[in-house]
Structure 1
């Protein structure tokens, strides 16, 4: 089982690094390939759009093909797409390969979760998911720094080519582990009835809010430090690091103690911590105080660590065994949609004020975006309090 966990975690690392470093690499891509603003926007957008549209289908394919086979196909396709992006010689080539990467991720993301759900028994799944999500999101927070270092010292192409050896290693490890994941063909594409299950629906709401708040904290946190507080890219990436250690500590603690504490306590405490961090970070941006932003990222990291693995496990545990692929696809879709909504909301606010090097008016919309994110997260705290039992063992999934 250890090899299976390492293989699936390597896939999560690839996916989150790819998403978090691309923004930092865009200026270098523009200078090297002479692409315009519209192409730059689509380099990010086409991946997210394809991923969001195809995630439900990817989850269904996991059930039909078997999670392990779907994982191998998705991993191989994402590895090839990463190589294609790295060797692209024009903007249209990058766009094409980014679309392929989005389609591969739509299969790989739910397949990784489904493999772990099938391989690990109920009493060990929470710990496995804690490693899977915690390591992946830890890499997401350092992604901008990694991207900046690649762009400055070895070239933007290596930001994508680094995925190739990781993908190959993941495929080899999974082939050696040979996890048994049965096929469940014959159902409709989407079983929206899963949302009627209180634990699944509640976990989905929390994951949507988590995607919203986490994206704002990581993406706009680093951007705000550069655009409104005048930090250079490497320093801005380093300033986000206070998010990482609390996230990893909370993830590990939740993985060990989640079954004892229960999803209600984790859901409420995690959302409150994340909301407090978002409010504090927004205040630090308005005040122009980097230290305040860094300190506020500590409770934000704790909140993310308490939520990501446990809420995912709660949702998967609430789904019947033969629909865990669909469940994985649905919760992944919900979290991605939350992230897209967070980017859209803060982007819309930011577009209404000019961004200045000294902060001033530019800091206001970003701080408002952090406040809106905090409200969304707090709303999900109420849902968590009403939807979850005190202990996981009291909510056994129906067959």
Structure 2
């Protein structure tokens, strides 16, 4: 199934070949595993809270600790892949992720689980940019949009399956199995990657790495996350100071370094910058919708863990059936319309989810909103991803993938950190149906507004020609 030791040929591989299918399979298994863990925890939060006697802030950190380390280090992961080989770093990240998942599964306290989740995010930061960069680097140009569409669809399915898988495991086994299930998936991922995926890298990648940039990025995101979750506490103002200083120092470091973690030149391309700005607001809404909806179904509507997971199945079905078509549509007509209409349709679905509450009917109150939301997501996700990658030179595929993934995770991270406090949730109030119901309505309106903003921003800033054209990328970084 291909030469695992060699580099991809100058023309790349074709999607319909055994090697092409193996590249997509390995990328989907690895990144899908990280996507799954980004959402699977939501449905188990109440059970974890009861079992480990965790507070709301600790539950937020169980979700955000993973997102924090992932968003902070994903650019470094992309740089390592460009330098040492995307497949090699992808495999190392997959093994790291599996070991950290084992630590999550046996964690005896909330604090231990938070630490294990942070370590899990480190592994995800190594493998996630490599999964997409392997596709960009291995495939011939004409097949990339369709391959990215397949990758986007299947990995988004993994994210959407999180509540379903989590619900089943929590209800019939233990919440610990939502982490332990990663071990066989990681094993299969490594086997496929090692045996069948050709190695690709950037021969001009710098020999040194921007360790200071990685530290400053982590401090900036960590400080902001702490301030949002612990707002009102004695250390929150100091966390804001750390965020501002670290962010400013990060920009200065990236501008002066001869081996920057993030070549700021990539943002000179208008499409690249606009697509990532849209990613920030849309994925903030996506993360918050899944976080609040699953808790609303359990706390207010009275669903069990499995029922709450099954309720989100329409998103999975939409992604399974329509995501690759969304990629082909974007290739044919250009990204502007899918990236505009998709978030607007998601916003409409989010508003329909305002009907979810005490005594809600699944068929009339839950299903319509989720189906509309899933349609919009399927329309948007592949054109968005392909647009980001098409805006930079091929040798910067790891960095481009890392930037977009970092932005997406940062959006979800900040939304989950900030929205509970914004809508009035404190302490143990997440378990109070009356308080949580009111907070859910407010959070849903905020998410709909973010999605509408993302759609409007795409219309104003994204320009065709389409993703599938073979014109040279515009930004060299």
TM-score of the pair, normalised by structure 1: 0.91
Structure 1 residues 35, 292: closer, same or farther in 2, change over 3 A? Answer: closer
1:176 equivalenced with 2:195 (yes/no): yes
The Cα of 1:98 is off from its aligned counterpart by 2.1
Equivalent residue, structure 2, for 1:19: 38
The 1-side partners of 2:347 and 2:264 are apart by 29
Matching of residues 315-330 of structure 1 within 5 Å: 315-330=388-403
Q: Which residue of the other structure, out of 181, 185, 205, is the alignment partner of 1:185?
A: 205
- C-alpha separation in 1, matches of 2:433 and 2:417: 24
**CA displacement 1:279-303 (0-9 Å, x = unmatched):** 2212445995542232011121011
1:335 lines up with 2:411 in the alignment: no
- Specify whether residues 27 and 296 from structure 1 end up closer, same or farther in structure 2 by C-alpha distance, changes over 3 A only: closer
Q: Does the alignment pair 1:305 with 2:388? A: no
User: What is the Cα deviation at residue 111 of structure 1?
Assistant: 1.0
Q: CA deviation at 1:334?
A: 0.8
The alpha-carbon deviation at position 327 of structure 1 amounts to 0.8
Q: 1:151 to 1:260 in 2, by over 3 A?
A: same
Q: What residue number does 2:423 align with? A: 350
Q: CA RMSD in A?
A: 2.5
1:397 aligns with 2:473: yes
Cα distance in 2 for partners of 1:31, 1:280 equals 31
Instruction: State the shift of 1:151 in Å.
Output: 2.2
Q: Is the 8 A contact 2:81 2:201 kept in 1?
A: no
Could you say if the C-alpha distance between residues 52 and 268 of structure 1 is closer, same or farther in structure 2, counting changes exceeding 3 Å? Answer: same
Unaligned stretches of 5+ residues in structure 2? 1-19, 207-258
1:388 aligns with 2:463: yes
Partner of 1:56: 75
Please give the per-residue CA displacement for 1:270-328, whole angstroms capped at 9, x wherever unaligned.
12111111122124459955422320111210111111221111101111122111111
Cα deviations across residues 140-185 of structure 1 (Å, max 9, x unaligned)?
Answer: 2231232222123222222211111111111110111131302342
For residue 73 of structure 1, report the CA deviation from its aligned partner: 1.1
User: How far, CA to CA, are the matches of 2:172 and 2:123 in structure 1?
Assistant: 29
Other-structure match for 1:164: 183
Does 2:105 correspond to 1:105? no
The aligned counterpart of 1:196 is: 268
Answer yes or no: is 1:155 the counterpart of 2:228. Answer: no
- Note closer, same or farther for the CA distance 1:380–1:121 as it changes in structure 2 (3 Å cut): same
Q: Which shows bigger deviation, 136-145 or 6-15?
A: 136-145
Deviation at 1:371?
Answer: 1.8
Conserved? CA contact 1:247–1:304, under 8 Å: yes
Shift of 1:38: 5.6
Distance 1:38 1:344, change over 3 A: closer
In terms of mean alpha carbon deviation, does 48-57 or 168-177 score higher? 48-57
Q: Relative to 1, partners in 2 of residues 1:228 and 1:216: Cα closer, same or farther, differing over 3 Å?
A: same
Deviations 1:344-378 (A, max 9, x none): 3431233259668665x643332222222222222
Summarize the Cα distance change of 1:92–1:276 in structure 2 as closer, same or farther, 3 Å threshold.
Answer: closer
Contact 2:68-2:413 within 8 A present in 1 as well: no
Contact 1:110/1:329 (<8 A) preserved: yes
How far apart, CA to CA, are the structure 2 residues paired with 1:316 and 1:139?
21
Q: 1:374 aligns with which of 445, 448, 470?
A: 448
Contact kept? 1:221, 1:240, Cα under 8 Å = no
Q: Quick one: distance in 1 between partners of 2:109 and 2:292? A: 28
1:61, 1:387 → 2: CA distance?
30
Task: Determine helix, strand or coil for the equivalent of 1:229.
Answer: coil
Relative to structure 1, is the Cα distance of residues 247 and 105 closer, same or farther in structure 2, using a 3 angstrom cutoff? same
What is the CA-CA distance between 1:70 and the residue it aligns to?
1.3
The residue aligned with 2:439 is 365
Q: Distance in 2 between matches of 1:171 and 1:17?
A: 17
Deviations, residues 215-268 of structure 1 (Å, cap 9, x unaligned):
123221221222232323222222222222123222021133321121011111
Aligned residue number for residue 347 of structure 2? 275
Q: Which runs of 5+ in 1 are unaligned?
A: none
Decide which of 146, 153, 159 is 1:134's aligned counterpart.
153
Deviation (angstroms), 1:80: 1.6
* TM-score under structure 2 length normalisation: 0.77
Q: For the residues of structure 2 that align with 1:35 and 1:267, how far apart are their CA atoms? A: 39
Give the whole-Å Cα distance in 2 for the aligned partners of 1:233 and 1:9. Answer: 26
* Cα gap change, 1:168 to 1:269, in 2 (>3 Å): same
Q: Residue 5 of structure 2 corresponds to which residue in structure 1?
A: none
From the two aligned structures, give the one with the greater helix fraction.
1
Structure 1 partner of 2:4: none
